[in-house]
Amino acid sequence: MKSRHFGTDGIRGLVGSEPMTAAFAMRLAGAAARVLTPDGGTVLVGKDTRLSGYLFESALEAGFVAAGVNVKLVGPLPTPGIAHLVTRLRCDFGVVISASHNPYQDNGIKFFDRHGSKLPDAIEDAIEEELLRDPVTRPSEQLGRAQHVGDRRVIYQEFVKSTMPDGVDLRGLKLVVDCANGAAYKVAPSVLADLGADVIPIGCSPNGRNINDGCGSTDPGLLKLTVTGVRADVGVALDGDGDRLVMVDHLGRTVDGDQLLYLLAAYERAAGRLPGPVVGTLMSNMGLEVALRDLGIAFHRAAVGDRYVLQMLNELGGTLGGETSGHLLCLDKTTTGDGLIAALQVLAVMKQTGRRLAELTAGLKRFPQTLLNVRVVKTFDSGSHPRVAARVAEVEGALAGRGRVLLRNSGTEPVVRVMVEGEDAELVKRHAEAIAEAVEAASREAL
What's the whole-number average pLDDT of the chain?
94
User: Could you confirm whether 100 is annotated as catalytic?
Assistant: yes
Domains and CATH numbers, the chain: 11-155 (3.40.120.10), 163-360 (3.40.120.10), 369-445 (3.30.310.50)
Q: How far, in whole angstroms, is CA 43 from its chain's centroid? A: 22
Query: Which of 52, 98, 100, 443 is the catalytic position?
Result: 100
Q: Residue-wise over 142-167: b if at least 16 C-beta within 10 A, else e?
A: ebbebeebeebbebbbebbbebbeee
Is the pLDDT assigned to residue 392 strictly greater than 50? yes
Each residue of 28-40: pLDDT tens digit? 999 999 999 999 9
pLDDT of residue 411: 60
User: Quick check: helix, strand or coil at residue 261?
Assistant: helix
CA separation, residue 184 to residues 79, 80, 388 (Å): 9, 10, 46
86-105 average pLDDT score: 96
Is the pLDDT assigned to residue 139 strictly greater than 70? yes
- The arrangement of strands across the sheet holding 369-375 comes to 369-375, 415-421, 404-409
Its pTM stands at 0.90
pLDDT of residue 265: 98
Cβ atoms of residues 167 and 201 within 8 Å: no
Q: Residue-wise over 74-86: b if at least 16 C-beta within 10 A, else e?
A: bbbbbbbbbbbbb
Q: How far is the C-alpha of 429 from the C-alpha of 422, rounded, in Å?
A: 9
Is the pLDDT assigned to residue 405 strictly greater than 90? yes
Helix, strand, coil fractions of the chain, as percent rounded to 5: 40, 20, 40
